[in-house]
């Protein structure tokens, strides 16, 4: 679901900082307040935890990703103004998401095209046990469908497990889980990646240097993602871990299974976010009941620095980078245990003057996209880049298709004003364009190029 | 084939377009979206035309050389017509978008005009068309090989790069002309664009006789440039003022 965000991260704060400040310092704007209440009741935010595992870890440490798109805009008093704000901010938010998605895809495509390691077949994940080395097409198709079923059920089970944990307030467990998975990504996968890149370019490097590099990279990454850090650095780290995860998927998912899994995961995304009994929807509703912000799983946030900060109850642990500070002594660190790991960014002055309406209107709205979306977009484009034919047109076509899907998703967000899944449209377009470009456009363009004809 | 060839051809083909993008489009999010959507529309038109060509080829005898050549010519022409059709569809979509933007704006005027959209749409079409023509060539230019070792032209990469550049420019100007024709109901402008596109694509059948394809294309580009400039409100006086940096009370503004 795509929702519009107040400057407060929590969706339903009946007595949030805004209302309290508003009533204290400025003449009450009734429609604004009502709009706020209405928006808060309407808002729902979904995250989807996606569990992914790696065959390398002996214990099934799972990665959680959220893959839903949250766009929240501040409700304004007038409907027109709100819609105009929506559209005006809409274009900016689209670009705020285009850039990181593009960067992630560039990293993945560059790696796939240059480092041979990620296109070699060296075994499969335990989540896709059926091999695709069968002679008959039917058997291969069947194996890929079975692999998909297993993978999706693992994801569903993990998500439900997470929802259950959240329901029973096992926050420390969840937090530890997240820390462990990002630890593995930042250290182990980075080490492997560095090793393969060095091998590709035949660069010799001694172990002490490697240890120094990996240690620094990983430690700063852990701090940036789980605690405080500059916004750009956080975003960069999130993009990097998404790219690393996508590369793992590209390497270890067999050909046909990968495509079927991509299709199935977008259907799952659609169901989980929009159905009333979907796990993500239940997660959102639980969080709303408890008046907490949604569980901070891996989310990429591109929130711009706010000119006026509001007390934030509980920003997402990863990826949040809005400025927060406590206003009027309001204690925002509510029940969640990861409140101590709040991302508070670099500047956090306390407001010493009454916050007027205009200042509040200067606040920028942020856009959040789950890292699972990054990962699966990059998997699609990376798989397109890894085709044996080495065609770049396919990669380019998938890239444009995904961006257009993201644009359409954000447009729907602006129209429906509730949380929407970010995967279905983009992945559908991506899949259509991959198969049609690879099979139809490629022979045409190759024939044209051989005769040097231009259309 | 070396890095020099790769970088040289990349910059020849995409340098002007990239600078157009950087200086006029990159700052405005709305324009970037229109650019990407334009690229998408071009892509869809290419998809449909390759589908038709593919079906035709599969239904025919692969050994019949003249037939295959004829099918290729048909494929090229059909693709050109389909691209222009999709340009028209994109125009329709942008018109609706402008109406939406006007309705949602506070002061009743859209943040972007149809002329600017025409320009950006043209650049979008051009960039995608150029990218699809050129990127595989550039990737091959990085690898080992000798150009024209079997007797083909040795200027293959260079002429491809120049052709790509001219095509990107042409698409930009055609966008402006086409949209202007649609806006003001001047059908002859639209027909002119289609005819020009067919002419440029047809002239590439002269390759590797590059004089027959590059020279007419550049001439047509110059004509289209002047025409688009006139339609966008330019004039000889504007040009002279710009070139001489004339101070006529207010500092001259670069044309957007």
Q: What is the model's pLDDT at position B157?
A: 92
Partner-chain residue, chosen from B29, B50, B139, that has the shortest CB–CB distance to A92:
B29
Look up residue A205 and give its two tokens: 């490097």
Contact B167 A452 (CB under 8 A): no
Respond yes or no on whether ipTM tops 0.90.
Answer: yes
Taking 60 as the threshold, does the pLDDT of residue B90 lie above it?
A: yes
A455 touches chain B (CB under 8 A): yes
Whether the CB of B136 is below 8 Å from some CB of chain A: the reply is: yes
Residue B202 sits at the chain A interface (C-beta within 8 Å): no
Could you read off the pLDDT of B203-236 as tens digits, one per residue? 999 887 888 889 999 999 999 999 999 998 888 8
**Nearest-angstrom CA–CA distance, B111 and B117:** 11
The mean per-residue pLDDT over the stretch B181-206 comes to 94
Asked whether the beta carbons of residue A403 and residue B208 sit closer than 8 angstroms, the reply is no
pLDDT for B248 equals 57
Within 10 angstroms of residue A14's Cβ, the number of other Cβ atoms is 10
pLDDT of residue B96: 92
Put simply, whether B128 touches A (Cβ < 8 Å) is yes
CB neighbourhood size of B148 (10 A): 13
The pLDDT assigned to A162 comes to: 86
What mean pLDDT, rounded, does chain A reach?
Answer: 73
State the DSSP H helix or E strand holding residue A406, giving kind and residue range, or none if neither: helix A392-416
Using DSSP's 3-state secondary structure scheme, residue A370 falls into strand
3-state secondary structure A80-128: HHHHHHHHHHHHHHHHHHHHHHHHHHHHHHHHHHHCHHHHCCCCCCCCC
Phi-psi region of A151 (alpha: psi -120 to 50; beta: other; left: phi over 0): alpha
**Does the CB of B109 have a partner CB in chain A at under 8 Å?**
no
Higher pLDDT among residues B1 and B144, named by residue: B144
Residues in chain B: 256
Helix (H, G, I), strand (E, B) or coil at A368: strand
A373 is catalytic: yes
Chain B CB contacts of A88 under 8 Å are 111
Count each helix (H run) and each strand (E run) in chain A, helices first. Answer: 15, 6
Asked whether the beta carbons of residue B135 and residue A392 sit closer than 8 angstroms, the reply is yes
pLDDT of residue B242: 85
The distance of B105 to chain A (nearest Cα, Å) reads 6
Chain B residue closest to A83 (CA)?
B104
Half-sphere exposure of A303 (CA within 13 A, CB side): 34
3-state secondary structure of A369: strand
Instruction: Exactly one of A65, A269, A314, A345 is catalytic; name it.
Output: A269
A-chain residues near B156 (CB < 8 A): 452
In tens, the pLDDT along B151-184 reads 888 889 999 999 999 999 999 999 999 999 999 9
**Residues of chain A contacting residue B160, judged by C-beta atoms under 8 Å apart:** 452
Nearest chain B Cα distance for residue A132, angstroms: 29
Query: Out of B50-54, B64-68, B125-129, which region has the weakest mean confidence (pLDDT)?
Result: B64-68
pLDDT at A93: 85
CA distance A429 to chain B (A): 11
Chain B residues with CB under 8 Å of A98 CB are: 32, 36
Residues of chain A with pLDDT under 70: 1-89, 293-298, 304-365
% of chain B with per-residue pLDDT over 90? 70
Interface check A445 vs B, CB under 8 A: yes
Residues in chain B with CB shorter than 8 Å from the CB of A84 are 104-106
**Least Cα separation, residue B145 to chain A (angstroms):** 16
Q: Does A204 touch chain B (CB under 8 A)?
A: no
Mutate to test the interface with B, among A404, A444, A449, A451 (most CBs of B within 10 A): A444
Burial of B249 (0-12, 13-18, 19+ CB in 10 A): exposed
Question: Would the CB atoms of A95 and B33 count as touching at under 8 Å?
Answer: yes
Nearest to A400 among B43, B133, B208 (CB): B43
Distance CA B160, CA B147 (A): 12
Which runs of consecutive H residues, i.e. helices, occur in A184-324? 190-201, 207-226, 231-252, 255-274, 279-289
- The verdict on a CB contact (< 8 Å) between A91 and B49 is no
List of chain B residues whose C-beta atoms are within 8 Å of the C-beta of residue A91: 28-30, 33
- The whole-angstrom separation of Cα A23 and Cα A45 is 27
Contact B104 A92 (CB under 8 A): no
Give the containing element (helix H, strand E) for B200. Answer: helix B187-203
Pick from A91, A397, A453: CB nearest B33: A91
Partners of B83 on chain A (C-beta within 8 Å) are 455
Q: Is the pLDDT of residue B1 over 80?
A: no
3-class DSSP state for residue A70?
A: strand
- Looking at per-residue pLDDT, the higher value among B127 and A128 belongs to B127
* Candidate from A84, A391, A400 with C-beta closest to B136: A391
Q: Name the band, by pLDDT with cuts 50, 70 and 90, for residue B16.
A: very high
Cα gap A307→A303, rounded to integer Å? 12
Looking at the complex, report in whole angstroms how far the Cα of residue B233 sits from the nearest Cα belonging to chain A.
Answer: 28
| Chain B residues 53-72 within an 8 A CB cutoff of chain A | 53-54, 57, 72
DSSP code string of A160-172: HHHHHHHHTT-HH
* Contacting B residues, span 1-40, partner chain A, CB-CB under 8 Å: 28-30, 32-33, 36-37, 39-40
C-alpha closest to that of A424 among A444, A447, A445, A401 = A401
Among the options A345, A373, A391, A438, which is catalytic?
A373
A79 inside 8 A of chain B by CB: no
């Amino acid at each position: 679901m795509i929702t519009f965000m107040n400057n407060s991260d929590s969706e339903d704060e009946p007595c949030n900082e805004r209302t309290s400040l508003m009533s204290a310092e400025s003449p009450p704007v009734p429609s604004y307040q009502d709009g706020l209440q209405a928006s808060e009741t309407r808002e729902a935010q979904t995250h989807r935890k996606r569990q992914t595992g790696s065959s390398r870890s002996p214990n099934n440490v799972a990665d959680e990703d959220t893959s839903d798109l949250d766009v929240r805009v501040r409700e304004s008093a007038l409907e027109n103004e709100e819609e105009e704000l929506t559209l005006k901010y809409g274009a900016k938010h689209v670009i705020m998401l285009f850039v990181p998605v593009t960067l992630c895809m560039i990293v993945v495509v560059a790696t796939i095209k240059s480092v041979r390691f990620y296109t070699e077949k060296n075994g499969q994940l335990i989540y896709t046990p059926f091999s695709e080395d069968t002679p008959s097409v039917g058997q291969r198709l069947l194996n890929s469908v079975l692999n998909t079923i297993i993978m999706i059920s693992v994801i569903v089970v993990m998500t439900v497990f997470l929802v259950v944990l959240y329901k029973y307030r096992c926050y420390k467990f969840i937090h530890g889980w997240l820390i462990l998975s990002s630890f593995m990504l930042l250290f182990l996968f980075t080490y492997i990646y560095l090793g393969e890149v060095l091998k590709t370019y035949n660069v010799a490097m001694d172990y002490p240097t490697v240890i120094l590099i990996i240690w620094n990279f990983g430690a700063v990454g852990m701090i940036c993602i789980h605690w405080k850090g500059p916004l750009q650095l956080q975003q960069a780290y999130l993009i990097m871990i998404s790219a690393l995860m996508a590369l793992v998927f590209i390497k270890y998912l067999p050909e046909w299974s990968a495509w079927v899994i991509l299709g199935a995961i977008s259907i799952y995304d659609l169901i989980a976010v929009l159905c009333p009994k979907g796990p993500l929807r239940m997660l959102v509703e639980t969080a709303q009941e408890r008046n907490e912000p949604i569980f901070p799983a891996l989310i990429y946030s591109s929130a711009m620095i706010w000119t006026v900060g509001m007390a934030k109850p509980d920003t997402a642990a990863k990826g949040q980078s809005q400025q927060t500070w406590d206003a009027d002594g309001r204690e925002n660190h509510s029940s969640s245990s990861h409140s101590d790991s709040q991302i508070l960014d670099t500047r956090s002055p306390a407001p010493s003057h009454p916050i007027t309406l205009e200042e509040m209107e200067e606040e920028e709205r942020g856009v959040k996209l789950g890292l699972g979306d990054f990962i699966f977009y990059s998997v699609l484009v990376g798989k397109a880049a890894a085709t044996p034919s080495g065609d770049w047109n396919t990669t380019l076509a998938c890239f444009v298709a995904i961006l257009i899907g993201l644009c359409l998703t954000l447009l729907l967000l602006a129209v429906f004003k509730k949380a929407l899944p970010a995967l279905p449209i983009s992945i559908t377009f991506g899949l259509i364009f991959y198969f049609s470009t690879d099979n139809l456009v490629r022979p045409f363009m190759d024939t044209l190029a051989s005769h040097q004809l231009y259309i | 084939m070396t890095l020099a060839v790769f970088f040289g051809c990349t910059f020849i083909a995409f340098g002007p377009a990239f600078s157009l993008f950087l200086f006029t489009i990159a700052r405005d999010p709305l324009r970037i979206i229109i650019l990407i959507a334009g690229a998408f529309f071009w892509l869809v038109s290419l998809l449909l035309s390759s589908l038709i060509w593919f079906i035709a080829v599969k239904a025919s005898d692969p050994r019949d050389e003249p037939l295959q050549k004829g099918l290729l010519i048909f494929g090229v022409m059909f693709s050109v017509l389909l691209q222009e059709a999709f340009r028209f569809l994109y125009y329709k979509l942008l018109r609706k978008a402008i109406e939406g933007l006007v309705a949602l704006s506070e002061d009743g005027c859209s943040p972007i005009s149809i002329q600017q959209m025409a320009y950006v749409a043209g650049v979008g079409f051009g960039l995608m068309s150029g990218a699809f023509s050129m990127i595989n060539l550039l990737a091959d230019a990085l690898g080992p090989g000798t150009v024209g070792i079997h007797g083909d032209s040795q200027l293959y990469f260079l002429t491809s790069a120049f052709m790509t550049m001219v095509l990107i420019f042409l698409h930009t100007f055609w966008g402006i002309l086409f949209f202007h024709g649609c806006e003001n109901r001047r059908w002859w402008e639209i027909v002119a664009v289609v005819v020009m596109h067919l002419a440029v694509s047809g002239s590439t059948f002269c390759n590797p006789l590059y004089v027959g394809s590059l020279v007419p294309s550049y001439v047509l580009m110059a004509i289209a440039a002047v025409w688009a400039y006139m339609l966008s409100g330019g004039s000889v006086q504007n040009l002279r003022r710009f070139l001489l940096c004339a101070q006529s009370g207010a500092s001259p503004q670069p044309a957007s």
